[in-house]
Amino acid sequence: MSTLEFRNVVKDYRVRGGRGEKGRLRAVNDVSFTLEAGKTVALVGESGSGKSTIAKMLLQLERPTSGSIVLDGAVAPRHGEALRRYRSDVQMVFQDPFASLNPFHSIGHHLARPLLLHGKATRSTVDEKVRELLGRVQLGPAADVAARRPHELSGGQRQRVAIARALAPEPRILIADEPVSMLDVSIRLGVLNLLAELQRQEDLGVLYITHDLATARHFSDEILVMYKGQVVERGTPDDVILNPQHPYTQQLAEAAPDPEKRIAERRAARA
Ligand code: ADP
Ligand code: MG
């Protein structure tokens, strides 16, 4: 059971202005939330609102300007063995499954590497463990898939490989940064359902980053709406979607297809 806390985090980037002058861009402005085992928090916001910056800080790829990241009561380590352990506990699925896989390496290699690196398999057990991982993301036949290169798989299959790779170190927290936005609409739900199923089975804490309020509602326990680096609204999915308070959330909720809400509106109009 793990808890990852993001406490009052601020992230400023140094940027160059139009005439070469240096300035500062506040990408994340005083954001706090908690990821708990077995729960999904959805981070919803338009492009540029600071979502991926939050993901990068959670993975220790970027440092907060201020604030802290705390895993099970301990400040997230920045170096050495402790950081390696942190990185096996907190794993990520990226938006673009093609860019995140090396075209020259087989699928088997992509999965064997983290298993060996994080001590979850030995040379003699690694093939079996790779097969097991492929089974968990419902890819098969395992021997066939393991021998292939990324370009020999479909986008959805590649994303399943990326999920399997994230599961290899046996993480407790999974960050999924727009995991289906580059996939065909027809296969998105399958990948999201797989993530939800794995989460239940493994009791993972999940951060689901998306700009899609409809899937956030379906797949999360809590929704945080980001706007220009700040959380402008948060609550249970029903609260946020059926009773949005912030104008930006209202726009999002109106744009999201939601049959229940339309039915409620029609009833209200008749009354
Ligand atoms: P999102 O994932 O919600 O689309 P990002 O977190 O990628 O948003 O970006 C938030 C803001 O920070 C954007 O204005 C973006 O241009 C800026 N930004 C992101 N990374 C950097 C960087 N390395 N240097 C400067 N600005 C950055
Ligand atoms: Mg992003």
Whole-number pLDDT of residue 216: 95
Spatial separation of the C-alpha atoms in residues 204 and 185, rounded to whole Å: 25
Q: What is the DSSP track for 76-106?
A: PP-SHHHHHHHHHHEEEE-S-TTTTS-TTS-
Instruction: Give the per-residue pLDDT at 254.
Output: 84
- The pLDDT assigned to 263 comes to 56
Q: Is the CB of 47 under 6 A from ligand 1?
A: yes
In short, whether 157's Cβ falls inside 6 Å of ligand 1 is no
Here the tokens at position 247 are 């104008």
Q: Distance between CA 114 and CA 112 in Å, rounded?
A: 6
Largest CA distance in the chain: 70
Any ligand 1 atom below 6 A from CB of 45: yes
- For residue 54, the ligand closest to its alpha carbon is 1
> What is the residue with the minimal CA distance to atom 17 of ligand 1?
27
Question: Among residues 270, 241, 237, which one has the least CA distance to residue 257?
Answer: 241
CA 31 to chain centre: 17
Shortest-distance ligand to the CA of residue 225: 1
The CATH homologous superfamily for domain 3-270 is P-loop containing nucleotide triphosphate hydrolases (3.40.50.300)
Is-contact 93 144, C-beta < 8 A?
no
- 59: Cβ contacts below 8 Å, ≥ 6 apart: 87, 90, 92, 175
Contact 61 CB / ligand 1 (< 6 Å): no
Look at residue 196 and give its three-state secondary structure: helix
pTM of the model: 0.92
Residue 235: which H helix or E strand, with range? strand 230-235
CA–CA separation, 28 and 8 (whole Å): 10
**What's at 21, amino acid-wise?**
E
Domain ranges of the chain: 3-270
In sequence order, the 6+-apart residues with CB closer than 8 A to the CB of 239 are none
Span from the CA of 212 to the centroid of ligand 1 (angstroms)? 19
* Residue-level pLDDT, tens digit, the chain, 271 residues: 789 999 999 999 998 876 766 789 999 999 999 999 999 999 999 999 999 999 999 999 999 999 999 999 999 999 999 999 999 999 999 988 878 899 999 999 999 999 999 999 999 999 999 999 999 999 999 999 999 999 999 999 999 999 999 999 999 999 999 999 999 999 999 999 999 999 999 999 999 999 999 999 999 999 999 999 999 999 999 999 999 999 999 988 887 765 555 556 666 666 6
42: CA distance to ligand 2 center in Å?
13
**Ligand 1 centre and the CA of 50: distance in Å?**
6
Strand order in the sheet with 173-177: 90-93, 173-177, 205-210, 40-45, 222-227, 230-235
| Closest ligand to Cα 27 | 1
Probe residue for ligand 1, chosen from 22, 25, 29 as the CB with the greatest number of ligand atoms within 8 Å: 25
- pLDDT given for residue 100 in this prediction: 85
Looking at ligand 1, which atom is closest to the CA of residue 54?
Answer: 6
Residue 264: the pLDDT is: 60
Q: Is the CB of residue 91 below 6 angstroms from any atom belonging to ligand 1?
A: no
- Residue 49 alpha carbon, nearest atom of ligand 1: 3
